[in-house]
């Protein structure tokens, strides 16, 4: 066995998988194969109101019960979601789309395909998390840039500086205080806001 495959199996043996499905032969097939893989299992039924929060992968039955449950959505659950589908009716497909599941297993369940679905679902979730991290970082950067631009305008208006002087002033302050320019901008704007509340200053606000 190659080192990459060995790492794959070691990873799967370390994860916790929740199986949310009615008792019966179909669930038995899933459970037996997951046991062969070596996953830690948590078997649940009936459908809980909220997804389990302490599992790495959640295999859940797609049914009308989902309409009356909590927020079953891949964007709000810190686990890979794998839908277990009976048949492809319009209602089932709508529920499936709403969950944004990372993978789907359709009946009749077979032992073959479960391993690959687990691997792909976890890879999809990992990619989604990395992408969301980049989005969050970009949004934070844009927010900080707006704060800096707003602080620059405040200095230009109240201190008689031009844009370059205002930015350099904040940069030097950030260096001396060992904080970021964005933090200096926030402190400056908070100070002007307090002065304005006391009637000593007026800062033009961005609408």
Say which range, 34-38, 97-101, 162-166, has the weakest mean pLDDT. 97-101
Q: Could you tell me the domains of the chain?
A: 3-112 (3.40.50.2300), 134-197 (1.10.10.10)
- Token pair 């297993």 is found at 105
Least confident of 27-31, 67-71, 100-104: 67-71
200 falls in which pLDDT band (50, 70, 90)? Answer: confident
SS3 (DSSP) at 75 = coil
The answer to whether 158 and 203 are in contact (CB under 8 A) is yes
Q: What 3-state DSSP class applies to 17?
A: strand
Number of continuous H segments (helices) and E segments (strands) in the chain: 6, 5
- Residue 113 tokens read as 């395909």
Percent of the chain predicted with pLDDT > 70: 89
- Given the DSSP bridges, would you call strands 40-44 and 16-20 parallel, antiparallel or unpaired? parallel
Residue-level pLDDT at 78: 87
Residue 4's pLDDT band (boundaries 50, 70, 90)?
Answer: low
The pLDDT tens digits for 138-171 are: 999 999 999 999 999 989 988 888 999 999 999 9
pTM, entire model: 0.69
User: Are 159 and 192 contacting, i.e. CB atoms less than 8 angstroms apart?
Assistant: no
* Residue 151 · residue 170 · CB < 8 Å: yes
109 φ/ψ angles, rounded to the nearest 5 degrees: -70, 140
At 74, the pLDDT band (50, 70, 90 cuts) reads confident
Q: Are 98 and 115 in contact (CB under 8 A)?
A: no
pLDDT at 203: 45
What gap in Å lies between CA 201 and CA 195, rounded to an integer?
Answer: 5
Q: Which secondary structure element, helix H or strand E, spans residue 105, and what is its range?
A: strand 103-106
pLDDT of residue 191: 87
Contact indicator for 185, 203 with CB cutoff of 8 Å: no
Name which of 3-17, 30-44, 114-128, 143-157 the model is least confident about.
3-17
Give the separation between CA 197 and CA 191, rounded to whole angstroms: 10
């Amino acid at each position: 066995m190659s080192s990459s495959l060995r790492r794959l199996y070691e990873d799967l043996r370390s994860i916790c998988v929740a199986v949310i499905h009615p008792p019966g032969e179909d669930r038995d097939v899933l459970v037996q194969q997951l046991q062969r893989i070596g996953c830690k299992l948590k078997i649940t039924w009936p459908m809980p109101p909220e997804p389990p929060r302490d599992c790495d992968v959640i295999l859940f039955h797609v049914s009308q019960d989902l309409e009356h449950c909590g927020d079953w959505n891949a964007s709000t659950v810190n686990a890979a979601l794998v839908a277990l589908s009976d048949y492809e009716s319009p209602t089932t497909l709508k529920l499936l789309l709403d969950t944004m599941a990372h993978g789907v297993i359709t009946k009749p369940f077979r032992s073959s395909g479960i391993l690959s679905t687990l691997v792909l679902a976890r890879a999809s979730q990992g990619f989604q998390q990395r992408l969301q991290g980049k989005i969050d970082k970009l949004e934070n950067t844009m927010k900080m840039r707006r704060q800096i631009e707003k602080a620059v305008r405040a200095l230009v208006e109240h201190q008689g500086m031009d844009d370059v002087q205002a930015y350099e002033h904040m940069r030097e302050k950030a260096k001396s205080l060992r904080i970021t320019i964005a933090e200096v901008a926030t402190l400056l704007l908070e100070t002007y806001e307090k002065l304005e509340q006391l009637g000593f200053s007026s800062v033009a606000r961005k609408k």
